[in-house]
Amino acid sequence: MQDFSGKVAVVTGGASGIGRSIVKELLAAGAKVVVGDVEQAALDKVLAEFSEAGEITGVVTDVSSQTSLDTLADEVYAKYGVCHLLFNNAGVAAPSANVWETTENDWTWVHGVNVGGVMNGIRAFVPRMIEGGQEGHIINTSSGDGGISPLPYQSVYASSKAAVSCISECLAAQLQSEETRLSASVFYPSGGLLDTGIWTTDRNRPEELAREKAYDPVPTVADFKVAMEAAGVTLEVQDLDELARYCLQGIREQRFVIMIGVEEAEITLQERAARIGRSELPIDLAEIPQL
């Protein structure tokens, strides 16, 4: 898909962070955008902010609910009769913890949003997109943390994003083998430190899935930057609008993996493969900051 002008795009988690920037760049490219987000106030804000930038609507959406995603799809198809671009972008994270100190609610909430949200989006939209017979594309947001190499203290989040990467690969292969007019990509937000709402996702955590144990305060972006610098890694903050433009260009270029600095990921994966080939732990603990 080379031209987004006039195309209908759906972005979950589109009211803040990377999702907001994707919405902004889609509008700049002439797309008609439907934003799905669980935060009413944030949704109202982004709709007001971009009201003159193009055609934009919003639907309060809880991606962990299949019913909520079906409702979003119903509204999109009732209004436009088509969806060309589906961005399964919404995501949350749990506090850093040893695996044995994570809780049932950590796993239920994070995997419900990050994995369930992608699957609910696929089930709600992809059958209709296939039936419509038009060219379309699905973009699932993963993370280098899990999709490439996990941070050991983020087992809940990293495992969810590893699952998103696997789902995306299977989806893309199946869309090709079934000879549909759809394709898929996995998007790895990258290029530097990402100052997004993922650092404060507890604001959207349902009371019934509150963490059962107390935990250390979630590190701020500044805390993480300091920890990485202590590990010898200097990170610059990535401009989110630039990242969104890179994502859209990746779609135009028909890339399955959309990631700034993907060459570095290749090196990381080669090193992990070599350790696996030696029956060793793939994670290099010396390179991992402990937060």
User: Where does residue 15 rank: exposed (0-12), middle (13-18), buried (19+ CB within 10 A)?
Assistant: buried
Query: Token pair of 153, please?
Result: 């203290």
What is the rounded distance in angstroms from the CA atom of residue 42 to the CA atom of residue 45? 5
CA 146, 160, 139, 25 dihedral sign is: negative
What is the rounded distance in angstroms from the CA atom of residue 219 to the CA atom of residue 199? 8
Catalytic residue among 80, 153, 157, 246: 157
Query: 54 and 33 in contact (C-beta within 8 Å)?
Result: yes
List Cα–Cα distances, 54 to 48, 58, 97, in angstroms. 11, 13, 43
What is the rounded distance in angstroms from the CA atom of residue 60 to the CA atom of residue 43? 7
Angle, helix 17-28 to helix 240-252, in steps of 10 degrees: 60
What is the rounded distance in angstroms from the CA atom of residue 125 to the CA atom of residue 85? 10
What is the rounded distance in angstroms from the CA atom of residue 62 to the CA atom of residue 13? 9
Start-to-end Cα distance in the chain = 41
Residue bearing tokens 């050991």:
152
- Whether 215 is catalytic is no
What is the rounded distance in angstroms from the CA atom of residue 126 to the CA atom of residue 143? 22
Q: Which residues are catalytic?
A: 157
